[in-house]
Chains A and B, each alone.
Chain A
């Protein structure tokens, strides 16, 4: 059951028969997906459902077994990486660097990086750009990584568990930043377990189950049809 949400909006991400196998194990069954521009999409599913595999495929961190991916008309490669801003679910920066050095790096490699936006966000969270990453707490490191990602004017933002390890106040800040950053030409994909926290800011949701897309619809549709929040509906669908 692979639904595509083909609205009248221009497609940003097009996946055709995309699949990934590791030997005899299928992490992702052939899937067809069209995600338009200007949407905030939740990628929901339990561990091992293929969320991480899908995200890694989009970012060129693993190679597909079959099918096609197009991001804003480009296959996965240098051109797609220019327009994708990715927040992994782990610390991936050089710990011995200062924040300023990381800002330099992003500015050097990403044309769409807005340093002043990053600096103002760092200021509002009281993070000193001269401090070294290894002296920061886990939560602060995650905030820095998020700020870097959101300071780019990308076409596709991919956030892997952006609010999982963060305190509720920061969670709020992160969600508001996502809203504030909203741009009708860009799309945000958020992979997460914490559905109830982000439901309000999502347009659409994709349910992934055992490597297959079992649902792709809007939050409002689920609420109107089932009289439940996405969080409740998700628990129902994925009940063990």
Chain B
């Protein structure tokens, strides 16, 4: 079932992504050619044009990331909270499967979008320039090994992965909770998001204090700063994991118990 649902979820969303990817890659091709202008010409107007174009290119990259989230959120909204929801919720599929599919779909497109971003940079910077930058990575890995930073790397890796999952998931949860209120659904969604953000901020701040990473004037727990950093990162990881679970079940329960099409 999950595979089937995922197949259709991906089918329904791939078009805007493809268009965005196409535009970005074309622009990166154009940008890589235009940036040569600076080397070969001193004409002010031409250089101005080149610079503006490069700005446009940077905006296009931003557009990719924004577009990614927007497409995913809009697709969620359309599938569950509009007339199309009449189809979605009458399919003989468990609510948890429907939501899980949307999450997996979102993560997949986030990864693909990142890949396209990397390819665009390769095109823009030119392969030689890009690989010069890339060569830093094995050096970095050696340094990590040498300085015993593997733990940190894993922790940060885990947090990043959860961040990728939680980014769309928090929005899903807010939309699901918002629709429970029969009036002002959109306002309720936004309010939920604000409340969530506030809680997250608060907890993160508290964590920093507790693990003594902030001003040294806080002397409740005295920890060696490296251990403190580890503890902080692990805490953040577990906190994100908890949030992930909360968002997931909040979304499912909202749809199961208080669906209001």
Contact = CB atoms under 8 A, between A and B. Distances in A.
Contacts of B4: 108-109
B86 A92 contact: yes
15 contacts: A59-B89, A61-B90, A61-B259, A62-B261, A78-B94, A79-B92, A81-B93, A84-B90, A86-B86, A90-B83, A92-B84, A92-B85, A92-B86, A93-B87, A109-B91
Contact of B259 (A62, A79, A84): A62
- Chain A interface mostly: mixed
A139 interface: no
Contacts of B89: 59-61
Interface of A: 22-23, 56, 59-63, 78-79, 81-82, 84, 86, 88, 90-94, 105, 108-110
A105 B259 contact: no
Contacts of A110: 92
Interface-centre pick from B8, B90, B91, B261 (highest chain A CB count, 10 A): B90
Given A93-B84, A93-B87, 7 more contacts: A61-B85, A61-B261, A63-B257, A81-B90, A81-B93, A86-B86, A108-B4
A58 B175 CA distance: 24
Contacts of B261: 56, 61-62
B225 interface: no
B160 interface: no
Contacts of B94: 78
A114 B221 CA distance: 69
B93 A78 contact: yes
A60 B90 contact: yes
B93 A109 contact: yes
B92 A92 contact: no
Contacts of A92: 83-87
B91 A63 contact: no
Nearest to A84: B90
A90 B90 contact: no
